[in-house]
A and B are shown apart, each in its own frame.
Chain A
Amino acid sequence: MKYDLEPTLPAPSSTTGVIGWMRRNLFSNATNSIATLIIGYFLVTLLGPALQWAFIDSDWFGDSPAACTSGGACWAFITYRMDQFMYGFYPETEYWRINITFLIFAVAIIWLVTDKTPYKGYVSIFVLFIYPVIAFYLLYGGSFGLEVIETHKWGGLSLTLVLAIIGIVAAMPFGILLALGRRSNMPIVKAFSVIYIEFWRGVPLITVLFMASVMLPLFVPEEITFDKLLRALIGIILFQSAYMAEVIRGGLQAIPKGQYEAADSLGLSYWKSMSFIILPQALKMMIPGIVNTFIALFKDTSLVLIIGLFDILAIVQAANSDSAWLGFSTEGYIFVAFVFWVFCFGMSRYSQNLEKRLQTGHNTR
């Protein structure tokens, strides 16, 4: 007779390790197995050649299409013109100005989004009020001994970033004011906000840009010429603030009425109750919506190509028409898609992180 317990056997090999994982997740029943096989078939047949094209058979450097001998992707088209894709027609000797401008911005933003860095208040004041002036003089010049670089020479990724950052930063305060205006009890303010929001939301951005670029110059006297970039920027801000207003209004409406009443009963004035009680909660709640709008704006900036501004997409298209480099549109578009993806994915990840960090616990996950 045997009384001691049998040693515990390891789980059957079919339920552990790679095989187990595959059985659980890929082949758990007939339908799933068929789906796995079909998707697997497409992955193998499509992904293989794509990788082969993009990485194995590709040429990365060279100064003419003749350098592309491997038969796959010709990334030399991108690397050779990388400076132009980044800086547009900005003079090469002045690239440092763009670098410094965006470096300061990056440092300030990293400072602001990192936990536990001191003097956040001062840094935000710097970013909102002092930095734009510095950036203007660095990019445009005309003072402090810097040569003037007119905006028609700006282009590439730096122009995309200028449009997106200014659009995002300027649309936010206008959006907040419009959202508050739309929920205001004052009839004129309310009517103005409603009309403004509904008007700008009712027209496509492409129309706004086109109007700003083509119609506006005809209605002003010839001595006054607005800069084309400025016109586009004003159009983008007007348009974007309307969208932002509606996102923020969503947040304001989601705040329980008790919060408004509590603020009133403390004797806070309208602006105090808004800025200390209501808006912090509303904005926090609307982070996904706000970031969504930012991402949409970032991608919308590529519409400026219809008014002849060379953002990163337009400059790649123009490079595509260089007769020495015809026929590399696929590489160009993949590169642009990748750049946009990196920025949008970055914004999206940061917003998720921010949401978790500001989570104060009404809905625990």
Chain B
Amino acid sequence: MMKTSLITAAILSVSFAGHALAEGTLDAVKARGIVQCGVTTGLAGFSNPDEKGNWEGLDVDVCRAVAAAALGDAKKVKYIPLTAKERFTALQSGEIDILSRNTTWTQTRDTQLGLNFAGVNYYDGQGFMVSKKLGVSSAKELDGAAFCIQAGTTTELNLASYFRQHGMSFSPVVFDTSDQTAKGFDAGRCDVLTSDQSQLYAIRIKLEKPDDALVLPEVISKEPLGPVVRQGDDQWFNVVKWSYNAMLNAEELGITSANADEMMKSNNPEVRGFLGLEGPKGAGLELNDDWAYQIVKQVGNYGESFENNVGMNSPLKISRGLNALWVNGGLQYAPPMR
């Protein structure tokens, strides 16, 4: 599925790459007074509508941060739900300004579709979930096991190559949707369920006895997910990239939505630079000087966003893992704001 959509998008992009807007996206966004943001049609923790119809999630927070930086109001976002097949066309044709729809950063997408990835807001990877009864603690012990897999994804290919590499065998049990995969695992049709780790946690909640299932530590593929913009509009690319970097830097500097006002009094030059009191301010980005303050005040820092949407304050309870800040042994690292 992913492959066909890629090929279609690639063919299209041959004739439409660099199909840039006459005016810059930032100017268009300011004139319109709203950021158009492409999101999923519903993915737990990343982007889904709550019962009041407000969008929430880790990917949604990137859009809100950009709106806070560019327009001073995180609510000024128009969410356009897109399916996996439509997403790149919607961005290329100018229907949306940012695509924040758990999209994996790959060479093909970055170089052939006329797109730019503005960062990685979630380091994902394919993982395994097993029943605790199995008494397994590592993927290396899974030789000969039956795997529940969702059809039409790259999951099966990754699994096959991992097992071949380690000289082990497996038998696949293929299901059509993620719901069915979860039911299959529940019913004992397979020993192991494999999918992207962020999905495993969402599936685990759907199980009859979530506590009996265990997500193994091994990750067998790289899936860096991040916001995407059109190629050829560096100004807007910078705005999106630095809006996300500001969320990371805020966490590193200990600035949260709760203490942002208090931090204004800080003597730390890095904090003052972040809040736009000194340093580069907003000039280079063509934004207001308090753009980063607005992000952290209205949306929060990356840590807050992570914990509230997918982490320990959410039902998903995903641990930070690779997504911890570099100072805590993770991969999330933003260049300094000075």
Contacts and interface: CB of A to CB of B under 8 A. Distances in A.
Interface stretch (B64-72, B85-93, B270-278): B85-93
A321 B44 contact: yes
Contacts of A310: 41, 81
A203 to B, nearest CB: 17
A84 B86 contact: no
B78 interface: yes
Nearest to A156: B53
Contacts of A324: 50, 315
B48 A318 contact: yes
A24 interface: no
B50 A322 contact: yes
A318 B122 CA distance: 21
Q: Which of B43, B53, B316 has the most CB of A within 10 A?
A: B53
A318 B48 CA distance: 6
Contact of B83 (A80, A306, A315, A319): A306
Counting contact residues on chain B (CB < 8 A from A), the size range is 35 or more
B179 A218 contact: no
Contacts of B90: 217
Interface string B314-331: 111000000000000000
B205 interface: yes
B41 A222 contact: no
Contact of B51 (A84, A317, A323, A327): A84
B42 interface: yes
Interface string B195-239: 000000010011100000000000000000000000000000000
Contacts of A80: 51
A256 to B, nearest CB: 50
A322 B51 contact: yes
Contact of A322 (B22, B44, B79, B86): B44
A305 interface: yes
A321 B42 contact: yes
A225 B94 contact: yes
B168 interface: no
B50 A222 contact: no
Contact of B93 (A90, A92, A210, A217): A217
B80 interface: yes
Given A218-B16, A317-B42, A327-B205, 20 more contacts: A84-B52, A84-B53, A89-B49, A150-B78, A152-B78, A152-B79, A152-B80, A217-B90, A218-B89, A306-B83, A307-B86, A319-B42, A321-B43, A321-B48, A322-B44, A322-B50, A323-B205, A323-B316, A326-B205, A329-B206
Given A222-B94, A321-B44, A323-B315, A210 B49 contact: no
B44 A218 contact: no
B41 A218 contact: no
A314 interface: yes
Contacts of A37: none
Given A218-B12, A320-B42, A225 B49 contact: no
Q: Which of A84, A92, A318 has the most CB of B within 10 A?
A: A318
A307 B83 contact: yes
A92 B316 CA distance: 29
Nearest to A220: B93
A72 B79 CA distance: 35
B333 to A, nearest CB: 27
A302 interface: no
17 contacts: A84-B49, A90-B53, A150-B78, A152-B79, A153-B53, A222-B21, A225-B95, A307-B83, A307-B86, A308-B82, A308-B86, A310-B81, A317-B41, A321-B44, A321-B202, A322-B42, A322-B44
B189 interface: no
Interface in A209-235: 210, 213-215, 217-218, 222, 225, 228
Contacts of A318: 41-42, 48-49, 81
A88 B88 CA distance: 25
